[in-house]
């Protein structure tokens, strides 16, 4: 079974631009979560989607948004990029996301650099 | 609210020596606990998890962890490390209601195995 895939793997943008990152979950998984990883703040939860609906949201400004499609693929968008948005963005998928028995499988991440 | 503390940011150890990576958590309710490993330029991989039952949990690659409710700890151990174990290790706790789609991570511990 193919793992979680994220595209692109690397991205360079300038301040003020916007960016869209993509995540394809493991086949059959309906929950997709997004995390931001930075050296200063560590791993922080952004949001989670289940059946095309945002089910959970972390403490990030409205510039960070996402969506999920009917095939469970998910995208996250960051508008008006700031230097502090430079990070590794990780996507994780699980079957339902609510049971402890549901393992979250992580993708390799998208490395975003904002210049 | 749940939180995770990993006191050691870096743990240097010689090859074939034992190692313990410390993790303490804070929660007013029952939680699920996880250890993930991140190799350079990769996503997170689940090492092991504690849901309930036996307090000694065995994971992949020879790692094990012990859940201690009275000390609110979930330390990770390996009796003999290899060079290939060099990576960053993250302890995580489930979100509110045991939600595994909203993990709360510690700041990570870099395990540096030296020959």
Long-range contacts of A68-71 (CB under 8 A, 24+ apart): A68/A32
Q: Which of A39, A104, A108 to mutate to test the interface with B (most CBs of B within 10 A)?
A: A104
Q: What are phi and psi of B17, to 5 degrees?
A: -85, 160
> Using CB atoms, which residue from A31, A43, A100 is nearest to B90?
A43
> Using CB atoms, which residue from A100, A107, A109 is nearest to B98?
A100
Q: Note the pLDDT of residue B39.
A: 93
- State the average pLDDT for chain A: 93
Tell me which chain A residues have a C-beta less than 8 angstroms from the C-beta of B46. Answer: 103-105
Tens of pLDDT, residues A1-28 = 689 999 999 999 999 999 999 999 999 9
Q: What are phi and psi of A49, to 5 degrees?
A: -120, 145
Q: Note the pLDDT of residue A13.
A: 97
> Using CB atoms, which residue from B42, B44, B102 is nearest to A48?
B102
Residue A28 Cα, gap to closest chain B Cα (Å)? 16
- The segments of chain B whose pLDDT lies below 70 read 97-98
Buried b (16+ CB within 10 A) or exposed e, B94-108: bbeeebbbbbbbbbb
Contact check, Cβ <8 Å, A103/B46 = yes
Contact check, Cβ <8 Å, B100/A105 = no
């Amino acid at each position: 079974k193919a793992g979680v895939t994220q595209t692109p793997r690397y991205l360079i943008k300038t301040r003020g631009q916007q960016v869209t990152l993509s995540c394809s979950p493991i086949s059959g998984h309906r929950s997709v979560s997004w995390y931001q990883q930075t050296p200063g703040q560590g791993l922080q939860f952004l949001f989670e989607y289940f059946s095309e609906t945002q089910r959970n949201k972390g403490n990030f400004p409205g510039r960070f948004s996402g969506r999920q499609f009917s095939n469970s693929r998910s995208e996250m968008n960051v508008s008006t990029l700031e230097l502090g948005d430079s990070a590794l963005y990780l996507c994780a998928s699980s079957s339902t996301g609510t049971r402890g028995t549901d393992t979250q499988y992580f993708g390799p991440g998208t490395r975003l650099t904002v210049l | 609210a749940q939180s995770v503390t990993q006191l050691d940011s870096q743990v240097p150890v010689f090859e074939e020596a034992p190692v313990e990576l410390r993790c303490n958590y804070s929660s007013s309710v029952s939680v699920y606990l996880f250890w993930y490993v991140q190799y350079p330029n990769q996503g997170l991989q689940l090492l092991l998890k504690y849901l309930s039952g036996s307090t000694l949990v065995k994971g992949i690659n020879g790692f094990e962890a012990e859940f201690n409710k009275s000390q609110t700890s979930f330390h990770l151990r390996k009796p003999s490390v290899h060079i290939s174990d060099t990576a960053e290790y993250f302890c995580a706790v489930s979100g509110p209601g045991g939600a595994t789609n909203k993990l709360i991570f510690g700041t990570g511990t870099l395990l540096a195995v030296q020959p």
